[in-house]
Structure 1
Amino acid sequence: MRKAVERVLVWQWGRRGAGPRIAVDLADGLKRLPRTDVLLCLSDRAEILRSRNAPDAVVKVATYSSVCELVGRILTALSLLKQLRRIVRDFRPDVAICAMPGPLDLLMAGVLRRAGVRIVVIVHDAHPHPGDGYPFQAALQRWLIRQADQIVTFSRHVADELTSEPDRAHCPVIALTHPPFIGGAGAMPFTHEGAPRILMFGRLLPYKGLDLLAEALPQVGRDLRCRVVGQGPDSPELRRLSALPHVSVENRWVPEDELPRLVEWADIVVLPYHEASQSGVGAMAIASGRYVVATRVGGLVEQFSDDAQAVLCVPEPSSIAKALATLLEAPPPSRPCVDNGQEWENLARDILASRNVS
């Protein structure tokens, strides 16, 4: 007997960053599966809608761009609920996947629950990192988890935290691998002219190890160029990095279309974190043929421990410097870039199969 078409709704209502990107890539992966009908739902203000990787078909939901607008959106929740009920009624999904939790997701979860739709939530962090996230994020995520039928994480580290604490999830939790974001295939590392290139990219917050990098770079003992790129508050650590020779700090938001070029500029991507759940930047770096230096914290250990292109080290300046020097002196052969589309298809298949996990 031929399998019926499975109808999958994917939603994420963030404006910028990893959330909308993951939703688009996951929807694309699901579309590659046989007999799967997919509906993607994004914020009408999602940056990715204006990028060259904009999805072909998407249902847009009016959201917010500030805390004041979020409050206003909550006060007018009735109109949003009507739209969400219409989306669910017209598409009739068998399963709905939240690609990354956000402040308004409980409204969608309530609509899906009443319609009898299975809910899968991808949880990226068991707890917000210091200085990261939005107001009441931890509480809202706990409430959303209570509505879920299945939790997916991108590291066993996060899965273990969700299943071992007092407010643990009471539905199945499965840890899968973080696929790389879609990028290009630039020149291989160290094939350019000039000094080796080191990149640190992401939110410029203290837990990312800005202080460790500032102390480590002078200890490498090699001429190199380093770019620290991302958005964050001014800090002594950033000022210290800016003062180092051949180090540039670019405190700015990186547009969606610039990401592949930025990663491909680097020979080595460094993740000197004090704590981490997993790293989407690291996944993109490896997939683009870059080398990675990462500290042995959180989910980074499982993500990179078996990868020849990555060197793990203790979260101390001397250890980070030694890891960088090791790759600069004797980099292992760089493998070809991976098939990003295939990786997201694999994730999509695993998520749909995970409903049978008890």
Structure 2
Amino acid sequence: MKRILVWQWGRRGGGPRFGLNVAQAIARLPGREVMLSLSRRAEVLDASDFNSNTVPLWLVETYGGFGGLIARLLGAPAMVQELVRGIRAWRPDFVICAMTGPIDLLMVAALRWLRVPFAVIVHDALPHPGDGFPFQHMLQNMVIREADVVVALTQHVARQLHALSGLDRKRIVVASLPPFTYSRLSHCSEQEVPERAPGPIRLLMFGRLLAYKGIDLLIAALEKMPETTAFNFRVVGSGPETAELKTLAAMPGVTVENRWVPEDEIASLISWADVMVLPYREASQSGVGAVALAAGKQVLATRVGGLEEQFAGEAGVSLCAPEAAALTQALQEVIRNGPRIGEMPSRSSQQWEAMAARMLADIEAEYEMRSVVHAADAVASIS
């Protein structure tokens, strides 16, 4: 597996950034060549910290909305032929889907046509309430069934995959989610980090503002806080306008910004915070938490899903039970301790390389084992 193609065709959000981090990490490994396929519409391409020289790029025209998605699917045969030509031109030994999306089955068809093996990295085995397109996870499961190797980012996700009908016999490689690299966050010298202005501790909840993120739990926890407690709490992200968000916005010390946060604003938003708060009711793992770690920020999270696994051994992470009283106590503790002086060191570059090296080694071992099993089955069927 010398030549590896990584693809992720999302337009916005963490998918393209994750694909970029994976490809860049593989490119830094000895004996590996990598190409990254992104959507031409990927927001990360316009980010100020995006460097097109780190990995070769193959940009694919995807779609601009639900209508564009339908049009792309109607033109599937032409796109599959286009993908076949692109794959033949680069001749990868192996292909990795960094995160699934609505039109990945077209790439799968091209790979099967050319008999090129591929792996799929699964971030969420089950849909969260309010997630994406209604059939997104059905399409993901179809990609998983076709994959030669399946990779989960936590043991929690691996267990969920094993419990799904049709996937229970799949062998799962378990990788990890390193601190999520944004160069403007992780490569600053101490002199470049702006001095924090005096004032109350700054708490940040960032990401999609959906029910499973524990907005109701956060409200209940803040209601139990003493009135004299001083803090600035920003809740920033996009989601439906709900009664819970209105209640949260009316609470002392809290501001709610229900909006999409573009790539170039994420670094400054994370830099503002002293503590990233993740009051989730369920989670596979947290990209937001990974971004906070890359920036050397403290993290306060509930002990749900794969979060404890993801944050194991990470300095500056506090975990509490997903209960209002426990979250209140944890919030009081980080507020009482005050802003950390300076930032925790980040080893994100080395952690991504370690993750990529281990993942590729496990993928190779699993693919070779599967090939041997298939060969033995073929011989048995003939005899």
TM-score normalised by L of structure 2: 0.87
Match of 1:356 in 2: 365
Tell me the CA shift for residue 306 of structure 1.
Answer: 3.5
Q: Secondary structure at the match of 1:113?
A: helix
Residue by residue over 1:190-242, the C-alpha shift from the partner in whole angstroms, topping out at 9 and shown as x without a partner, is 95410000000010001101111122124333200000000001001110111
Q: Is the 8 A contact 2:162 2:170 kept in 1?
A: no
Spell out the pairing of 1:41-120 with structure 2 (5 A cutoff).
Answer: 41-56=37-52, 57-120=56-119
Alignment check: 8 A CA contact 2:231 2:335 kept: no
Counterpart of 2:8 (choices 9, 12, 34) is: 12
* CA–CA distance in structure 2, aligned partners of residues 189 and 163 of structure 1: 47
Q: 1:77-99 CA deviation, whole Å, 9 max, x = no partner? A: 12211210011101111110101
Deviations 1:248-295 (A, max 9, x none): 111111111111221121111111111110001111212222111111
Deviation at 1:345, TM superposition (A): 1.6
Equivalence map 1:298-313=2 (5 Å): 298-313=305-320
Matched, 1:157 2:165: no
Given that 1:149 and 1:171 are in contact with CA atoms closer than 8 Å, whether structure 2 keeps it comes out as no
Q: Which runs of 5+ in 2 are unaligned?
A: 370-383
1:21 aligns to 2:17 (yes or no):
yes
After superposition, the C-alpha distances for 1:113-139 in whole angstroms (9 at most, x for unaligned) are: 222222110100011100012121121
Q: CA deviation at 1:335?
A: 6.7
Aligned partner of 2:242 among 211, 235, 240? 235
Separation in 2, partners of 1:316, 1:262: 27
Deviation of 1:53 (Å): 2.8
Does the 8 Å CA contact 1:189/1:266 hold for their aligned counterparts?
no
Structure 1, 226-235 or 182-191: larger mean CA deviation = 182-191
1:133 aligns with 2:136: no
1:305–1:54 distance in 2 versus 1, CA, 3 Å: closer
Question: % of aligned pairs identical?
Answer: 46
Q: Offset at 1:333?
A: 8.5
Separation in 2 of the partners of 1:335 and 1:327? 15
Q: Any idea what SS the aligned residue of 1:341 has?
A: helix
Residue identity opposite 1:44 in structure 2: R
Deviation at 1:55, TM superposition (A): 4.2
Q: Name the structure 2 match of 1:253.
A: 260
Aligned pairs for 1:283-322 within 5 A: 283-322=290-329
Report which stretch shifted further, 255-264 or 270-279: 255-264
Alignment match of 1:281 (pick from 276, 280, 288): 288
Report the counterpart of residue 196 of structure 1 in structure 2.
Answer: 201
Q: 1:246 to 1:252 in 2, by over 3 A?
A: same
Alpha-carbon separation, structure 2, partners of 1:199 and 1:90: 46
* Structure-1 residue corresponding to 2:213: 208
| Alignment partner of 1:220 is 2:225 | yes
Q: Computing the radius of gyration over CA atoms, which structure comes out larger, 1 or 2? A: 2
SS at match of 1:227: strand
CA RMSD of superposed structures (Å): 2.1
What is the match of residue 33 of structure 2?
37
- Aligned counterpart for 1:336 among listed residues 335, 340, 344: 344
Asked whether the 8 Å contact 2:297–2:344 carries over to 1, the reply is no
Q: Give the direction of change, closer, same or farther, for the CA distance of 1:169–1:29 in structure 2 (3 Å limit).
A: farther
Residue 355 of structure 2 corresponds to residue 347 of structure 1:
yes
Residue aligned with 1:60, SS = strand
Shift of residue 328 of structure 1? 2.3
Specify the code of the residue in structure 2 equivalent to 1:25: N
* Matched position secondary structure for 1:356: helix
4+ long deviations beyond 6 Å: 186-190, 331-335
The alpha-carbon distance between structure 1 residues 306 and 33, as it changes in their structure 2 partners (threshold 3 A), is closer
Q: How many residues align?
A: 354
Contact 1:12/1:100 (<8 A) preserved: yes
Compute the displacement of 1:59 (Å): 1.2
